[in-house]
Amino acid sequence: MYQHTQVNQPDISGGKSTFPQFFSVRQSARQCGHISISEHFKQWAKLGLTLGKMEEARILVEVGGGLTGSIDFTTATLTAVK
C-alpha cells in the first residue's frame, strides 16, 4: 500500500492542484476472487493513510511477464455510506 502526492496536476474540477493518491498493489497473482474497496480503506486507515474527500476510485488490472489475460466483471456493486 502506497501514498503518492501529485503536485500541480490536473484535478477532477478541471484545474490543477496538489493532492494525495493511495495505491494497493497485489504481491501475488490471482485467478479469481472478490475486491472490496472498503477493505482497502480499512487497511489504509490502519497504516495512517488518511482519506480526505474522495473524488474517484479505480480498479486497474494488469498482466505482466509476457503473459496474456482478461477480466470479466460479472457484478459490480457500489454502496455509498455517509
pLDDT in tens, 7-46: 999 987 889 999 888 888 878 877 777 778 888 888 888 9
User: Closest by alpha carbon to 25, among 62, 53, 56, 57?
Assistant: 62
Give pLDDT, residue 16: 93
- Note the pLDDT of residue 81: 64
Residue-level pLDDT at 82: 60
57-64 average pLDDT score: 71
**In this model, does residue 65 exceed pLDDT 70?**
no
Per-residue pLDDT, averaged over 63-80, amounts to 69
Q: Does pTM surpass 0.75?
A: no
Burial (Cβ within 10 Å: 0-12, 13-18, ≥19) of residue 41: middle
Cell triple for 5: 502526492
Compute the distance between CA of residue 22 and CA of residue 71 in angstroms, rounded to an integer. Answer: 23
